Chains A and B, each alone.
Chain A
Amino acid sequence: MMRLLALLLMTGPVWAEDVMPSIVAPPAEGSVSTADGLAAWDRVQQVVSHPRCANCHVGPDHLPMWSGPEYPEPRPHGMAISGGDSRMGVETLPCATCHITASTLESDPRQAPNAMIPWQLPPVEMAWFGLDGPALCRQLRDPDLNGGRDWVELAEHLRDDASHGGFVAWGFAPGGGREPAPFGLQAHIDDVLKWGAAGQPCPE
């Protein structure tokens, strides 16, 4: 057993299985109508603006938010926690001090949200907390603001993150009685692809 343990340690995080399996099956580009693409976008928007996703997609103040059904109105994360320039809090108080890197997505209501990768804010250019639908849409299709991804790569990013228990997986399975992002991972990936195949149309 010790050999196995040592091996686990030396190889760093090990995901024994695909934590949240999904497939990326892009429709042919242009095979989806603009109307269907907009309908898909509408569902994508419901996902990405959901508190499970949006609360950490914050701007250069690096202050994550608390919003959602548990809160009467959006408010900054308790204790005025800041992710700092590192977006991981390492300058002062690391996110991972409370948001423990876990071996499973399961969590208890008394646990701060945790994922299977170190907790952190997304890059600052991906800030979208509080944006309305059209602005959010334009941001997500802009490679300068979405991590340099085309529409297929966006879907692949979702799949890959979820497969190793990252924040996408957490958003759909936040545990602890928290409300998950809607529709589920596979539906979300499919919607991103539909929207993409339709040319990433954005509402006015």
Chain B
Amino acid sequence: MGTHLHLVRCGRLRQIARMQLIVNGNSHDLDADPQMPLLWALRDLLGLTGTKYGCGIAQCGACTVHMDGMAVRACQIRLADVAGEITTIEGLGTPDDPHPVQAAWIEQQVAQCGYCQSGQIMQAASLLALNADPSDADIDRAMSGNLCRCATYPRIRAAIRSASVRIGAA
């Protein structure tokens, strides 16, 4: 692993500790409870609110971020257990310079209420990083942990296929 890391294996102590977190390429020194889930550190301590709280129990996927490129549910990782660089939706791309997956999401006009879409996009980007040309079954399997109450799933499928082409062509 690189030079980043994050603190301190002091998970059993219910107290504030100084921790270093690398998020979207930026290093943050945090004074926080090591038991705090990464989700809430991102949202409440770092102000990165693109990562959403939906269920808190790994059933909806709205809080999906990347840890060293792999999708993880930020509600499930205590700060003490963060073991890699974190990328959130804000770090994946921006309105002016979207990631190919985000560009595909915009092209397909996926979002309705949009609340789940940060997590959907982070999960899809992780899938495509693992498997640049996923089958329909792969897509269904990889994305079934991400709940969309508006049921935008048909367009999510289409956007992932489109992103797969974009990434393949890049």
Contact = CB atoms under 8 A, between A and B. Distances in A.
The interface residues of chain B, by DSSP majority, are classed as loop
A104 B12 contact: yes
Nearest to B75: A110
Interface string A8-46: 111000101000000000000000000000000000000
Contact of B73 (A5, A16, A97, A101): A97
A80 B76 CA distance: 19
B138 A92 contact: yes
B76 to A, nearest CB: 5
Contacts of B3: 6
A90 interface: yes
Nearest to A5: B5
Contacts of B76: 98-100, 111-112, 114
A103 B70 contact: no
Contacts of A106: 11-12
A117 interface: no
Contacts of A16: 9
A6 B11 contact: no
B42 interface: no
B145 A97 contact: yes
Nearest to A93: B142
Contact of B9 (A10, A98, A103): A103
Interface stretch (B78-86, B88-96, B97-105): B78-86
A104 B11 contact: yes
A200 interface: no
Nearest to B80: A103
B144 A80 contact: yes
Contact of A97 (B1, B72, B134, B141): B72
B12 A98 contact: no
A168 to B, nearest CB: 20
A96 B131 CA distance: 17
Contacts of A14: 9
Interface of A: 1, 5-6, 8-10, 14, 16, 78-82, 90-94, 96-104, 106, 110-112, 114
10 contacts: A5-B8, A93-B123, A93-B144, A96-B70, A97-B64, A100-B72, A102-B78, A103-B78, A104-B80, A110-B57
